[in-house]
Structure 1
Amino acid sequence: MSHRKFSAPRHGHLGFLPHKRSRRHRGKVKTWPKDDPSKPVHLTAFMGYKAGMTHTLREVHRPGLRISKREEVEAVTIIETPPMVVVGVVGYIDTPKGLRNFKTVFAEHISDECRRRFYKNWHKSKKKAFTKYCKKWQDEDGKKQLEKDFAAMKKYCKVIRVIMHTQMKLLPLRQKKAHVMEIQLNGGTVAEKVDWVRERLEKQISVHSVFSQNEMIDVIGVTKGHGMKGVTSRWHSKKLPRKTHKGLRKVACIGAWHPARVGYSVARAGQKGYHHRTELNKKIFRIGHGIHVEDGKVVKNNASTNYDVTEKTITPLGGFPHYGEVNNDFLMLKGCVVGPKKRVLTLRKGPQKKHLVKVKPGAQEEL
């Protein structure tokens, strides 16, 4: 095994350093789609929970390819997306240093699952969050101040974002504390955006009003955590020969004598997984309706197709392993996404930068 460095000079991408645990459990949107005032006002992101994976059998329609009009099995991920609730609005102004928070207005009634997010320990707290703030909506002076805030947003703000939270009570999860995030509004003028939010305060927004079938979206989340791992598992470096002294799942040379320190780029043991990642261009195969009542009847048929007309739900027999039943609206995405079951995922409209992200021809195929 001479000339080891030529068989594996180095392993692992240095662009994702440092490999340490994410500071946040929920995926953060670090860049939003570019605003286009000519389009109607719309949300640019949503939140969902990973239920698990299954597969689809479909006929490919891509003229010119050998696989066209053949059946193909593809892996898909099911993400449960119960309606989110609008509880506030934030206005941002432009400054020489970037965007700055100008005004924030919350709704009159905020549910307990949202208020839990503002406490470390809800059980031991006095549960008084927003009890004083909600009185603004009840007296005349408070209403005048709110009107001034909305008017100031329309006059000075450049960016409007909505404060929304998920509904944990609709999910088969043990957690009661909702996930809260700001979602940017795109399209229309600033005044139209503010009016859009005012009309929808305390109301539910479904995933059908944000995304559509065949759309390409980005998935932002935190990967599955694996804890402390050795260098071979963490960086996929090549194992040393069988008779190596003091172990073989190691890096043989971690640097020269001088400089007398280990460089940052040398693969070492440490934390593996639980990293914040953004995956681009995930195709939506289907946006399914949850179990609902229609004309006095409970409708559970949300997984049938034109070729398989059997009435059935998307949940497999016995439920999704380590998750349970999917009873709400859901997204079916092609391929896999980050994180384990039950992980909260942020779904963003995409692609963001078309000159940097190459969309494969198969992405344009209509399902």
Structure 2
Amino acid sequence: MGHRKFSQPRRGSLAYSPRGRARSMEARIRGWPERQGEPRLLAHAGFKAGCIQIVSIDDREHTPNAGKQLVSLGTVLVTPPLHVLGMRGYSKGHYGRHVKFDVFAEDLPREVAKYIVLRNGRLNAERAETMLGGTAEIYGILGVSPRSAGLEQKRPYIFEAPVRGGSMKERFAYLKDLLGKTVKASDVLEPGAGVDVAAITKGKGWQGVIQRMGAKRKQHKSRKTVRELGSLGPISPQNVMYTVPRAGQMGFHQRIEYNKRIMAVGSAGEDDAINPSGGYKHFGMVKGDYIVLKGSVPGTYRRLVKLRAQIRNAPKRTSKPNILEMVV
């Protein structure tokens, strides 16, 4: 008996395993870059509005197109100010991180206060400052409201972002000064810098193995089915290996894309040039702070996108992009 032939997926099509639905509409970021210098928050958040065309001068050295006009895709993210709701200190042990203290602002926003439960009472900043010994990391507790971006969702997104740079006392003083205040995108991000974007991709539901894994269709004359695999594996052992492409959920996965360059950081009004006539499809008018990233961003319109400081191949210095025109 000869070898049975069956169609194989494209090389590298597995990529991620398992391909399950994301647990939440909010992406989680598990790794953060180190930072030297003054303390600073390493994250911000925004909502995807739409795409535009960016006409700029290519400032990449040692490329054939250096110094010439370049037309590229840009993604507009609405970045309302983040509310600094509190801070959290972590200590590190043999079993990972442990919460050491939580400090919250005195006057929390009304739409946020009902989602924060203080189990052990409110700890003041003076008491927490005496507990800095043994504290390994300090995170800011941030909140962003979709309504501040012009969306209908009432429930805010609350997440943590670390403060890096300086000593532990300097980080604590930096967050203590920000408690109860807002942080704009321009305070954290600058044009020309690189960021990593984390979001939940566009959901496509249950798809077959042809659409989902890129497997090849079988010959219609010799098989009962065309859009199925010819074999799921050998007769013995009687199990299907995880490397065998199967049908299942496609899309609505958590993904992080690296090294997205910030092309512009600004604030828009109703008549600003960043808005097309009638607003962006499926989003509307941009009426606040925004940033423009070079390239695409995971997820559909109106979806939350987290921005993290560049963690891979971060350049020592950044240069502001030379933008000639943004075509909306």
- Verify same fold: TM over 0.5: yes
How far did residue 65 of structure 1 move? 4.1
| Structural mapping, 1:151-300, within 5 Å | 151-152=130-131, 154-291=132-269
1:281-328 superposed Cα distances (whole Å, 9 cap, x missing partner):
10111111233xxxxxxxx67xxxxxxxxxx43111111111111111
- Point out the structure with the larger strand share: 2
Q: Residues 347 and 3 from structure 1, CA distance in 2 versus in 1: closer, same or farther, beyond 3 angstroms?
A: farther
Structure 1 residues 231, 115: closer, same or farther in 2, change over 3 A? farther
2-side partners of 1:64 and 1:156: how far apart? 47
Say if 2:9 and 2:215, in contact at 8 Å, map to a contact too.
Answer: no
Contact 1:116 1:177 in 2 (8 A): no
Contact map agreement 2:78 2:290 (CA 8 A) in 1:
yes
Asked if 1 retains the 8 angstrom alpha-carbon contact of 2:8 and 2:216, the reply is yes
Residue 291 of structure 2 corresponds to 331
Q: Deviations over 1:260-295 (max 9, x none)?
A: 12221111111001111111110111111233xxxx
Residues in 2 aligned to 1:365 and 1:109: alpha-carbon distance in whole angstroms: 38
- Find the residue that maps to 1:155 and give its secondary structure: coil
Distance 1:155 1:132 in 2: 21
The Cα of 1:62 is off from its aligned counterpart by 4.5
Q: Give 1:79 deviation, angstroms.
A: 0.8
In the alignment, is the contact (CA less than 8 A) between 1:91 and 1:157 conserved in 2?
yes
SS of aligned partner of 2:170: helix
Distance 2:38 2:320 in 1: 26
Instruction: Write the distance in 1 (CA, Å) between the matches of 2:158 and 2:304.
Output: 11
Whether 1:16 aligns to 2:23 is: no
Going from structure 1 to structure 2, the CA distance change for 1:258 and 1:48 (only over 3 Å counts) comes to same
**More displaced stretch, 95-104 vs 230-239:** 95-104
Quick one: distance in 2 between partners of 1:9 and 1:51?
34
SS of residue in 2 equivalent to 1:156? coil
Counterparts in 2 of 1:320 and 1:254: CA distance versus 1, 3 Å = same
Corresponding position of 2:34: 34
Q: Separation in 2 of the partners of 1:99 and 1:183?
A: 15
Gaps of 5+ in 1: 119-128, 137-141, 292-299, 302-311
Correspondence for 1:147? 126
CA separation of 1:93 and 1:61: change in aligned 2, threshold 3 A: closer
1:12 Cα shift?
Answer: 4.6
Contact in 2 for aligned 1:161/1:182 (Cα 8 Å): yes
1:88 maps to which of 59, 83, 86: 86
Percent of aligned pairs with the same residue? 30
Paired amino acid for 2:146: M
Residue aligned with 2:177, SS: helix
The change in CA–CA distance for 1:83 and 1:5 in structure 2 (over 3 A counts) is farther
Partners in 2 of 1:252 and 1:7 — Cα distance? 6
Distance in structure 2 (CA, Å) of the matches to 1:29 and 1:347: 10
How many positions carry a matched residue from both structures?
Answer: 319
Which residue of 1 is the match for residue 42 of structure 2? 44
Secondary structure of 1:332's partner?
strand
1:320 corresponds, among 276, 280, 297, to 280
Instruction: Tell me the SS of whatever aligns to 1:340.
Output: coil
Note the aligned Cα RMSD (angstroms). 2.7
Q: Which residue identity is paired with 1:33? A: P
- Report the Cα offset of residue 14 of structure 1: 3.8
Q: Which structure shows the higher helix fraction?
A: 1
Cα distance per residue 1:232-275 (max 9 Å; x no partner):
11101111224353331121111111111222111111100111
CA deviation vs aligned residue, 1:52-99 (integer Å, no higher than 9, x gap): 111112233446544234322111111110100001100011212332
Preserved CA contact (<8 Å) 1:11 1:236: no
SS of alignment partner, residue 191 of structure 2: coil
Matched, 1:347 2:326: no
Deviation at 1:8, TM superposition (A): 4.5
Matches of 1:244 and 1:270 in 2, distance apart? Answer: 26
* Residues 82 and 206 in structure 1, CA contact (< 8 A), matched pair in contact too: yes
Contact 1:11 1:267 in 2 (8 A): no
Distance 1:117 1:342, change over 3 A: farther
Aligned to 1:125: none
1:97 aligns with 95
In 1: Cα distance, 2:135 partner to 2:241 partner: 46
Confirm or deny: 8 A CA contact 1:61 1:365 kept in the other structure: no
2:56–2:321 Cα contact (<8 Å) kept = no
Distance 1:189 1:63, change over 3 A: closer
CA contact (8 A) 1:289 1:330 kept: yes
